[in-house]
Structure 1
Amino acid sequence: MREEQQMARVVYTKYDGSLHWHQYATRLGEDEHGVWLGCRAGNTAQRGHEPPITYEHAFVLLFPRDAWWTAVFNAAPDRTEIYCDISTVPCWQDGVVTMVDLDLDVVRRRDGSLFIDDEDEFAEHRVRYGYPAQVVENAERAAQWLMKSIGERAEPFTDGYRKWLSLVE
């Protein structure tokens, strides 16, 4: 394993601080888009304290700098090509990246369909957790930016992720 490829822990929480999705992934490197982590087929992840799930396909995760989203790029034949979580800005400390999942997701299926998912959950949690206006604005702005960027096939949503994915396939 190359020196820069070390394990990182990925921890999403909900706005109230409760544990959400978490897993370990291999740090692949950085580029102008952010920090890239990778997972081979067979990697596991856990939602909260539920039993772990095992992924059938490889994928890479992107944690951009100063942006209110994260992204997962899945290897074929997974039907979801790109899955972006709207979240607070990812924060790195001692090999752990943490962020608050803000419910909204932007998804591009392999057939090219693109949509925002979980708007109902965002509306519900906005009230339940008392999202401040600035959090709501940043989340909605990030979702719209992703819809535009992914829809226009801007990088890294076209080919930029493929070199990273090739490292774990």
Structure 2
Amino acid sequence: MSDLPGKRPEAGSPVVVQYFKYSGDLHWRHDMVFLGTDEHGVWLGGPAGTTIQRGTEPAKHWPSPFVQLIAPNRWWSLFFNGDYSDNYRVYVDVVTPATWPSPDRVEMVDLDLDVVLHHNRAVELLDEDEFLEHTSLFGYPDAIIDRARMTAAELMLALEAGQEPFATAGEPWLALIAD
């Protein structure tokens, strides 16, 4: 399952992931590698040392491996850290559906809300204050506001229930880059 344009990249090929704010400003940029696809979507890898950059801040290197799932036509993007991160086992951004301007670049708009799964299995909604601030500042349309809230609520339930791809689907992909 994939909505990649043109020829599918080979495993290990670089893919740039870019998140924008609703204003059009760059929010995050990650230099990932294409791992493959499955029934959930496109899996990208971030080995330890992956370059990430927030907006115009200096780039930094992420200390631990992680994988990212880009699911077609979904209003979320999943980061699976497994046991490698000190913070969260799973981190899900509420975003507009991803687009692929080219096979080596994927883009989406960050809608502020995030749902995380802690290592103790607690699920938490993050950045509600940022979402409320940006709905006014950026003028989110009502349809975007409703969709973001609905997506966050669905994600909370899915993570609490241990549904895939939020439970273990990322494990085999993470194993490809963790060693």
TM-score of the pair, normalised by structure 1: 0.96
Counterpart mapping for 1:63-82 below 5 A? 63-78=70-85, 79-82=87-90
Question: Aligned-pair distance for 1:112?
Answer: 1.1
Matched, 1:167 2:176: yes
- Where 1:80 maps in the other structure, the secondary structure is coil
* Offset, 1:4: 3.2
| 1:53 Cα deviation after fit | 1.9
Q: Per-residue CA shift, 1:39-97, capped at 9, x if unaligned?
A: 11111200011011221110000111111110101142413100011010000121210
**Corresponding pairs, count:** 168
Aligned partner of 2:50 among 22, 43, 48? 43
Which residue identity is paired with 2:14? M
Counterpart in the other structure of 1:137: 146
1:137 CA drift (Å): 1.1
Partner SS, residue 89 of structure 2: strand
Which structure is higher in strand share? 1
Question: SS state of the match for residue 168, structure 1?
Answer: helix
Q: CA RMSD in A?
A: 1.2
1:13 aligned partner = 20
In structure 2, C-alpha distance between the alignment counterparts of 1:36 and 1:77, rounded to whole Å: 17
The residue matched to 1:110 in structure 2 has which SS?
coil
Letter in 1 for 2:62: Y
Give the gaps of 5 or more residues in structure 2. 1-8
1:1-169 equivalent positions in 2, closer than 5 A: 3-78=10-85, 79-94=87-102, 95-169=104-178
Partner Cα distance (2:40, 2:154) in 1: 15
Percent same amino acid at aligned positions?
Answer: 40
Runs of 4+ in 1 over 3 A off after TM superposition: none
Distance in 1, Cα, partners of 2:128 & 2:135: 10
